[in-house]
Amino acid sequence: MKIVVTLDVNGEPRQALADGRDTLLQLVRDQLGLTGTKEGCSNGNCGACTVLLDGEPVCACLVLAAEAQGAHVTTIEGVAVGNALHPVQAALIKFGGTQCGFCTPGVVLSAVALLDRVAVPSDADIRYAIAGNICRCTGYGKIVEAIQAVATSRQEASR
Amino acid sequence: MQELHYSRPTTVADAVVALARPDARVLAGGTDLIVQVRENRRQVAHVIDLKRIPELNAITRQADGGWRIGAAASVGRLGRDAAFAAEHHALLDSARLIGSLQIQNRASLGGNVCNAAPSADAVPLLICLGARGVVAGPGGRRTLPIVEIATGPGRSSLAAAEILVAIVVPAQTGRWAAKYLRFTPRREMDIAIAGVGVWLQLDQQSAITGAAITLASVAPTPLVAAAAQTLLVGERLSPKLIAAAAQSAADEARPISDTRGSADYRRQLVAVLTRRALEACAGELGIHGT
Ligand SMILES: Cc1cc2nc3c(=O)[nH]c(=O)nc-3n(C[C@H](O)[C@H](O)[C@H](O)COP(=O)(O)OP(=O)(O)OC[C@H]3O[C@@H](n4cnc5c(N)ncnc54)[C@H](O)[C@@H]3O)c2cc1C
């Protein structure tokens, strides 16, 4: 039995047909064609499938598509404004915080959620916020630096 | 593959009715259940999502100073309740060991309790704090101590058609402190090889009036170290007393050997973690020289 899931994705109303077993990850990638969200481990350990569900980072592989009925979902495709990258994206490029890129969409969304929530995150806040995003390339140092740089420049801009 | 039917009732009564179907299972955050269903470790034909039932999401301070935590409220939401976080930082810290922020934004305390893993990180302090579960079923409601819910790995004392509605943490009185410590090879995203939750209550002269110690990952269920608790009550904290309680807790543990660690290693960990957790409580209560 298919169910019709109506939700808001990246600010646009969307509708998709989902199976009871389908996850939000499958809905986003296979039904909506938003393949920036990656499938890694499929059990919540790697964070490659991180999306924002009503503003909070979650693993899309651990949310049933049916649970997203009426929800607001932000995927990596919804982070940049037109051609202008989100500051977190720009900083990851600048600081070399991305290499193979597989974890990057998830890292960006975890960082965006952190910066929305915490004005001046500490190094520990940043590391905790991305603890659920496994990266096998960078060793995390450059990712942390990039997020820190965004927080610092935002603070300076608000002075 | 078997079809999965999804429903999201908005009342406890409707959820209990839906749960009466064969192969029905309730879903809170899904961080255990969705993995189990996908890996076919559980036969489930109907998932009943509890997150739309207001009572299961509410986090309220009760008139007597206790807290009532809706069984499906996420750990993330619990942490954003400033009054709860201030009073129960130790319990919150233990819940924040669960996976990552992505997991905590879904995972509930009710799920941690009902999934009945011996390694469940939020359960030891719930037990130490004397928390009770409010359970609803076809025959009405009952309450029981949280310690009576898990009966073995993945097995609970709740009947098939019963749901945990809320967890009630009673008002804590006097000078008290709590601490949960676990040991994992990695700091995040790992399962405890052993964990120890400790709760202490002192009178004005710093004599111990209440003590609770609950162990994780060293028995088929969370395990109350009753003899260690008895050693502490009526005494004053000292290095000697702490060492004796730590040794007693280690002796009471009933660990198995598996890929994560041997039984001997787990016992050693229980002694060390019990000592450190007691020392942390002593520090928080302003008792030095222990
Ligand atoms: C990557 C990852 C890391 C994790 N790390 C940890 C960790 O470090 N420590 C730890 O303790 N756990 C960990 N977990 C396990 C899990 O996140 C926790 O046990 C969590 O608290 C489960 O809550 P939930 O709301 O997601 O439960 P669900 O998955 O929704 O439910 C779990 C079980 O309990 C039953 N259940 C749920 N709610 C009720 C209710 N109200 N009444 C009756 N039955 C109910 C369900 O039917 C199911 O069988 C991890 C999980 C993942 C995916």
Q: What pLDDT, on a 0 to 100 scale, did the predictor assign at position B262? A: 95
Residue nearest to atom 23 of ligand 1 (CA): B111
Q: Taking all residues of chain B, what is their mean pLDDT, rounded to a whole number? A: 96
**CATH value at residue A19:** 3.10.20.30
How far is residue B77's CA from residue B88's CA, in Å, rounded to a whole number?
A: 14
Rounded Cα distance, A102 and A95, in Å: 17
The verdict on the CB of residue A139 being under 6 Å from ligand 1 is no
What is the reported pLDDT for B234?
97
The CATH architecture to which B5-169 belongs is 2-Layer Sandwich (3.30)
Report CA Rg, chain A.
16
Residue A126 lies in a domain: yes
First-last CA distance in chain A: 56
Lowest mean pLDDT segment, chosen from B55-64, B139-148, B187-196, B272-281 = B187-196
Domain borders along chain B are 5-169, 175-284
Please tell me the least confidently modeled range out of A82-91, B38-47, B67-76, B152-161. Answer: B38-47
Atom 28 of ligand 1, nearest CA residue: B30
Residues A35 and A65 in one domain: yes
Nearest-CA residue for atom 13 of ligand 1: B98
* B74 Cβ closer than 6 Å to some ligand 1 atom: no
Residues in chain A closer than 8 A to B187 (CB atoms): 131
Domain that holds residue A44: 2-77
pLDDT tens-place string over residues B86-126: 999 999 999 999 999 999 999 999 999 999 999 999 999 99
Domain count, chain A: 2
Nearest to B103 by CA among B187, B186, B189, B27: B189
Q: Are residue A69 and residue A92 in the same domain, yes or no?
A: no
Name the average pLDDT for chain A: 96
Q: What is the pLDDT of residues B192-239, one digit of tens each?
A: 999 999 999 999 999 999 999 999 999 999 999 999 999 999 999 999
Look at residue B29 in the predicted model and tell me its pLDDT. Answer: 98
pTM: 0.97
Contact A63 B30 (CB under 8 A): yes
Q: How many CB pairs under 8 A join A and B?
A: 87
**Cα–Cα distance between B26 and A128 in angstroms, integer?**
30
Q: How far apart are CA B285 and CA B199, in angstroms?
A: 11
Which CATH code, of 3.30.390.50, 3.90.110.10, 3.20.19.10, 3.40.1190.20, is assigned to B175-284? 3.30.390.50
Check pLDDT > 90 for residue B185. no
Contact A19 B27 (CB under 8 A): no
Looking at the fold, whether A14 and A63 belong to one and the same domain comes out as yes
| Mutation test residue for ligand 1: of B31, B157, B181, the one with most atoms within 8 Å of CB | B31
In the predicted structure, residue B290 carries a pLDDT above the cut 80: no
**Alpha carbon of residue B155 to chain centroid:** 15
Q: What is the pLDDT of residues B38-69, one digit of tens each?
A: 988 888 999 999 999 999 999 999 999 999 99
Distance, in Å, from the CA atom of B290 to the CA atom of B278, rounded to the nearest integer, reads 9
From B46, B75, B114, B184, mutation site for ligand 1 pocket: most ligand atoms within 8 A of C-beta: B114
**Angle in degrees, CA A41, A44, A48, rounded to 5:** 60
- Burial (CB < 10 A; 0-12, 13-18, 19+), residue B101, is buried
State the pLDDT at residue B289: 63
Question: Is B67:B50 a contact under the CB 8 Å cutoff?
Answer: no
Residues in B whose CB is inside 8 Å of some CB of A read 1, 3-6, 8, 27, 29-31, 34-35, 37-38, 47, 49, 51, 76, 99-103, 105-106, 187-189
Q: Is residue A60 part of a domain?
A: yes
Helix (H) / strand (E) containing B78: helix B75-80
